[in-house]
């Protein structure tokens, strides 16, 4: 009952907005929304938009689908299998480089969760040059490789000044101290490793590239220019409902209700881990109460494109700033 009352209040604005400006014709259509990854705490707002009735209150029938390595939202937009999706900035910029018709509607993470974890017993990284001589894990071909290359260049360091280890999903080299600094998603793997080491009496620190001027944009909500052109009312309804759900999900007052819905879809994560993941996710999505969820950091997008050009990940400028539509 408590959750329903809150949702009714949250969606009252959506319903009024739609009643004033939107044709109900789109209500009969099924909308497909492809996430970037599996259901977990990182997609709390997406889960609540569906389970909490936000989409329904806006007159939308939305199928929220998990993502994965073989389920690329941008590709599905191009094929017409999805109307909306979640993609990382590098995916968007690569797609634009290939001529795709991708438009960014909202930037979910204001702080990129891609960070590095290391034990507190090691010298603290206070300056980028403190990376010199360290054994650093990177996922070759992943975002973390691109970000680390940028950080090293910014510090005036090369791979000759550090020891780089290729890593994947197996944390064993980090747990056995064979790799000092390990790449993690701060709000998921970071919480799990921090908890695991705490049980062994060890504490950790996190190395956040944004603290050193490297803001590489993470996940955003995208659609195609064609979808906006054909049905701008539906785009408006979808985004209004989705952002209302994210605001609801990131409100600490709604923690228990949100965690209960996440648990239904993420059964393999312990309750205390899920709760801490939600707290960290909140800090990355809405760093402070004044931040409107979905705010597009234009400068960070331009920096991301610039980094990718320098790393030769795209042929040349794609002018991503012209594809940041918002909603």
Q: Where does the pLDDT of residue 300 fall: very low under 50, low under 70, confident under 90, or very high at 90 and above?
A: very high
Residue 84 has pLDDT above 70, yes or no: yes
Indicate the average pLDDT of the chain: 92
Q: Which residues of 120-137 are buried (b: 16+ CB within 10 A; e: fewer)?
A: eeeeebeebeebeebbbb
pLDDT of residue 19: 45
Distance of CA 306 to the CA centre of its chain: 20
Report the percent of the chain where pLDDT is more than 90.
87
- Higher per-residue pLDDT: 111 or 18: 111
pLDDT of residue 326: 78
CB atoms within 10 A of CB 156: 10
The dihedral through the CA atoms of 125, 127, 132, 138 has a sign that is: positive
Q: Where does the pLDDT of residue 69 fall: very low under 50, low under 70, confident under 90, or very high at 90 and above?
A: confident
Residue 14 has pLDDT above 60, yes or no: no
Residue 143 has pLDDT above 70, yes or no: yes
Q: 63 with 14: CB under 8 angstroms?
A: no
Residue 202 has pLDDT above 80, yes or no: yes
Q: Where does the pLDDT of residue 312 fall: very low under 50, low under 70, confident under 90, or very high at 90 and above?
A: very high
Start-to-end CA distance of the chain, whole Å, equals: 31
Task: Give the mean model confidence (pLDDT) for residues 284-307.
Answer: 95
Task: Give the mean model confidence (pLDDT) for residues 116-138.
Answer: 98
Task: Give the mean model confidence (pLDDT) for residues 16-39.
Answer: 70
Region of poorest pLDDT, from 10-19, 71-80, 209-218, 245-254: 10-19
Task: Give the mean model confidence (pLDDT) for residues 11-28.
Answer: 50
pLDDT of residue 27: 59
Q: Is 235 helix (H, G, I), strand (E, B) or coil?
A: helix
Distance between CA atoms of residues 319 and 308, nearest Å:
12
Structure tokens that stand for 124 in this block: 């603290």
Angle between helices 298-310 and 89-97 (to 10 degrees): 60
Going by their DSSP bridges, the two strands 163-166 and 102-107 should be labelled as unpaired
């Amino acid at each position: 009952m408590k959750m329903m009352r809150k949702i009714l209040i949250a969606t009252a604005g959506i319903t009024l907005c739609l009643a004033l400006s939107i044709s109900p014709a789109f209500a009969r259509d099924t909308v497909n929304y492809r996430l970037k990854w599996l259901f977990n705490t990182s997609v709390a707002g997406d889960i609540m938009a569906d389970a909490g009735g936000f989409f329904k209150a806006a007159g939308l029938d939305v199928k929220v689908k998990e993502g994965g390595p073989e389920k690329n939202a941008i590709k599905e937009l191009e094929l017409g299998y999805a109307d909306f999706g979640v993609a990382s900035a590098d995916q968007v910029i690569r797609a634009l480089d290939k001529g795709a018709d991708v438009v960014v509607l909202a930037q979910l993470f204001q702080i990129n969760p891609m960070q590095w974890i290391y034990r507190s017993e090691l010298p603290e990284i206070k300056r980028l040059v403190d990376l010199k001589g360290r054994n650093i894990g990177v996922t070759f071909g992943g975002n973390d490789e691109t970000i680390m290359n940028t950080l090293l260049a910014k510090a005036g360091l090369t791979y000759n000044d550090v020891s780089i280890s290729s890593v994947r999903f197996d944390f064993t080299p980090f747990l056995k101290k064979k790799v000092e600094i390990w790449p993690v998603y701060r709000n998921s793997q970071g919480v799990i490793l921090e908890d695991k080491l705490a049980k062994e009496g060890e504490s950790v620190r996190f190395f956040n590239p944004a603290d050193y001027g490297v803001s590489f944009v993470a996940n955003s909500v995208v659609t195609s220019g064609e979808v906006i052109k054909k049905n701008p009312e539906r785009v408006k309804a979808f985004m209004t409902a989705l952002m209302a759900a994210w605001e609801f999900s990131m409100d600490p007052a709604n923690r228990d209700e949100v965690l209960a819905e996440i648990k239904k879809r993420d059964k393999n994560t312990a309750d205390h881990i899920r709760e801490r993941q939600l707290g960290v996710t909140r800090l990355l999505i809405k760093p402070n109460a004044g931040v409107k969820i979905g705010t597009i950091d234009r400068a960070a997008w331009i920096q991301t494109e610039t980094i990718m050009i320098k790393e030769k990940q795209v042929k040349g400028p794609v002018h991503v700033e012209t594809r940041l539509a918002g909603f």
